[in-house]
Amino acid sequence: MIARELKMSESTVKRALGDLLKAGYIKKEPTINLNIVNFGIIPYSIALEIQYKLLEKRQNGEIDNTLLLLEHPPVLTLGTRGEYKNIYLPSDEFKKAGNRGFRS
């Protein structure tokens, strides 16, 4: 149950859901199946790989919804239209930081 994963009492969760129901924010009490995984600090590339694998499993109906709790070292990401000329960081600083850059 989600309450155990979040270290909340079930009565607290039920009370909060009841309040949301009365206020009209939700139409009925939801049934939630949610896996919560705490990875701690992991590299961005590994976190991204895990997300893609979980996405595929979820789309195939192999797993329930999953919430990943994690932190990764700072990275620089460029979107599909991003260009390196838009990075205002000297290349030696970028290399010193471990070259942690990713295109998305």
Q: Which amino acid is at 66?
A: T
- Cβ atoms 65, 34 nearer than 8 A: yes
Would you state the pLDDT for residue 2? 47
Mean pLDDT of 3-22: 74
Q: When comparing pLDDT for 44 and 82, which is higher?
A: 44
- Domain positions in the chain are 1-32
pLDDT in tens, 28-75: 766 678 889 999 999 998 999 999 999 999 999 999 889 999 999 888
3-state helix, strand, coil split of the chain in percent (to 5) is 40, 20, 40
Would you state the pLDDT for residue 5? 52
- Cβ atoms 70, 39 nearer than 8 A: yes
Q: Where are the beta strands (DSSP E) in 6-64?
A: 34-41
Task: For CA atoms 58, 62, 63, 68, give the dihedral sign.
Answer: negative
**Listed ranges 22-26, 43-47, 98-102; the one with the highest mean pLDDT:** 43-47
Per DSSP, 103 falls in state: E
Listed range (1-5, 19-23, 38-42, 77-81) with the worst mean pLDDT: 1-5
Report helix, strand or coil for 89.
coil
